[in-house]
Amino acid sequence: MSRNRAATDWHPASWESKVAAQQATYPDKAALERVVADLSRLPPIVTSWEVDALKDEIARAQRGEAFILQGGDCAETFDECTSEDIVAKLKILLQMSLVMLFGMKKPVVRVGRMAGQYAKPRSADIETRNGESLPSFRGDLVNRSPFTSADRVPDPSLILRGYERAALTLNFVRSLIDGGFADLHHPEYWDLGWVGHSPMADEYHKIVASISDSLDFLETISGSPVHKTRRADIYAAHEGLHLHYEQAQTRYLDRRQRWYDLTTHFPWIGMRTAAMDGAHVEFFRGIANPIGIKIGPGMTRDWLQDLIRVLNPNNEPGRLTLIHRFGAKSVEDHLPEMISAVKETGSPVLWVSDPMHGNTESTPDGVKTRRFDNILSELESSFRVHESMGSHLGGVHLELTGDNVTECTGGARGLTDGDLARAYKSTVDPRLNYEQAMEIAMRISGLHKSQFKSA
């Protein structure tokens, strides 16, 4: 059933009548309104047919016929909107997806945490240093990170700067993909020196060799490169946190008789903004995009069922993705109840594991990190719990980078806390580096195989 424009209870700004958690307080309201008006006149970043195509892909993944790989930075930064950074992010996502495609023998749908992942929730509105209190840094879309009052005051012009960078990012990604991105077809050119450092080296070498052989074989019989990705083959996603940003590009499409948030294909609701009576749930219920909801240990059975009823009242396939992030230690305790709560609703959902956000810890020196083994362990448990309950894990959500950073510990090279200082770049959450991300992709293929072997 379509959400009719004439329906009076929802419009792109109806969220304003609710409590909006995690929003910046702009001192100059008139300037904010001007920016929202300016932004709403710009062309959209994505189109409704791409959004619908992703919804179809998610519906396939819900049926077990495809797998979703969602990955990227915790927060994109304006400084890293460079060709090198974008190439590196695209490369790691494409290479991981190829490993997973060959391992799982099913299509892998790539979704970047990119082209708009600029706003962050914070645990406190105010940060105090040496007796001085200033607004917390909320991401490049909102304010600037240096600890001065001029930098920390929310600046509405950053909303436009962020939108422009999001558009530049996706534009470049699309051009690279159209150009073929040759690197993808030649695993022999991938940076795989790390493989020899792993106890699983033999297995990893076999995976890479089998990808090369399969590609050669397919190219020989078809006479053309096999992996000609089409434009829409990488989708964009970000946390739909900053509601003025989302609202400004939300359009009613007469042809479809629905509202679309055209800042991105796939916005998600973060863990801190999923209150039933809150502004985010109000905004998200009115848009036609496929949407994600992060669920953590605080989620209850009733709350989850209420979210599903409000956000997917017609049980539409492809509409809802539940991204669970319980932590390696809690996933076995919490996930079964969530799965049974969803079953009771009869609504189709895609289950995705985010093995990052429940596994963040601080070193004795106060550096935020995550251990590779905990990330892997949450993934293993997630596959297992789903399988044991007659459900299935249809995707993963990872914070990663194509760079050689040292932010998470462990992995084939056995990074330790002592390595973190060497190349720690994230200003927010720690990401898997290139090698760790590739290793996770190889492990996921194996885990997925065991989930489906009995099917």
Identity of the residue, 285 or 294, whose beta carbon is nearer to ligand PEP in the bound complex: 294
Q: What is the distance between the alpha carbons of residues 298 and 239, in angstroms, rounded to a whole number? A: 19
Identity of the residue, 253 or 428, whose beta carbon is nearer to ligand PEP in the bound complex: 428
Q: Is residue 398 a contact point for Co ion (CB under 5 A)?
A: no
Q: What is the distance between the alpha carbons of residues 270 and 261, in angstroms, rounded to a whole number? A: 17
Question: Least CB distance from residue 74 to ligand PEP, whole Å?
Answer: 5
Question: Least CB distance from residue 299 to ligand PEP, whole Å?
Answer: 11
Among the listed residues 74, 215, 311, 432, the single contact to Co ion using CB under 5 A: 74
> What are the tokens at 322?
């539940």
Q: Which of ligand PEP, Co ion, none does residue 121 bind (CB under 5 to 8 Å by kind)? A: ligand PEP
Q: What is the distance between the alpha carbons of residues 119 and 273, in angstroms, rounded to a whole number? A: 13
Using the contact rule CB under 5 A, the part of the chain among 43-51, 72-80, 346-354, 369-377 near Co ion is 72-80
Identity of the residue, 156 or 270, whose beta carbon is nearer to Co ion in the bound complex: 270
Q: Which of ligand PEP, Co ion, none does residue 386 bind (CB under 5 to 8 Å by kind)? A: none
CA angle, residues 24, 321, 254, in degrees to nearest 5: 75
Tabulate helix, strand, coil % of the chain (nearest 5).
45, 15, 40
Identity of the residue, 282 or 429, whose beta carbon is nearer to ligand PEP in the bound complex: 429
Question: Least CB distance from residue 37 to ligand PEP, whole Å?
Answer: 29
Identity of the residue, 6 or 124, whose beta carbon is nearer to ligand PEP in the bound complex: 124
Cβ atoms within 10 A of the Cβ of 184, count? 22
Question: Least CB distance from residue 243 to ligand PEP, whole Å?
Answer: 15
Question: Least CB distance from residue 24 to ligand PEP, whole Å?
Answer: 16
| Signed CA dihedral, 262, 267, 269, 272: sign only | negative
Question: Least CB distance from residue 187 to ligand PEP, whole Å?
Answer: 30
Cβ(10)–Cβ(286) below 8 Å: yes
Q: What is the distance between the alpha carbons of residues 93 and 341, in angstroms, rounded to a whole number? A: 32
Cβ(441)–Cβ(102) below 8 Å: no
Dihedral pair phi/psi, residue 260, rounded to 5°: -125, 135
Identity of the residue, 341 or 428, whose beta carbon is nearer to ligand PEP in the bound complex: 428
Q: Which of ligand PEP, Co ion, none does residue 138 bind (CB under 5 to 8 Å by kind)? A: none
Q: Is residue 429 a contact point for Co ion (CB under 5 A)?
A: yes
CA angle, residues 224, 227, 228, in degrees to nearest 5: 75
Based on its alpha-carbon atoms, the radius of gyration of the chain, rounded to whole angstroms, reads 21
> What are the tokens at 434?
């290139």
Question: Least CB distance from residue 237 to ligand PEP, whole Å?
Answer: 10
The single residue listed with the structure tokens 């995707």 is 395
Question: Which residue spans within 126-218 are E strands per DSSP?
Answer: 126-129, 132-135
Q: Is residue 68 a contact point for Co ion (CB under 5 A)?
A: no
Q: Which of Co ion, ligand PEP, none does residue 271 bind (CB under 5 to 8 Å by kind)? A: ligand PEP
Give the residue at shortest CB distance from ligand PEP: 270
CA angle, residues 254, 9, 27, in degrees to nearest 5: 95
Identity of the residue, 403 or 429, whose beta carbon is nearer to Co ion in the bound complex: 429
Q: How many residues bind Co ion (CB under 5 A)?
A: 2
Residues in the chain: 455
Give 314's contacts (C-beta < 8 A, 6+ positions apart).
Answer: 1
Q: Which of Co ion, ligand PEP, none does residue 107 bind (CB under 5 to 8 Å by kind)? A: none
The amino acid present at 235, given as its one-letter code, is Y
Interface positions with ligand PEP (CB under 6 A) = 74, 121, 239, 270-272, 294, 325, 357, 429
Question: Least CB distance from residue 370 to ligand PEP, whole Å?
Answer: 12
Using the contact rule CB under 5 A, the part of the chain among 153-161, 358-366, 412-420, 423-431 near Co ion is 423-431
Which positions lie near Co ion, rule CB under 5 A?
74, 429
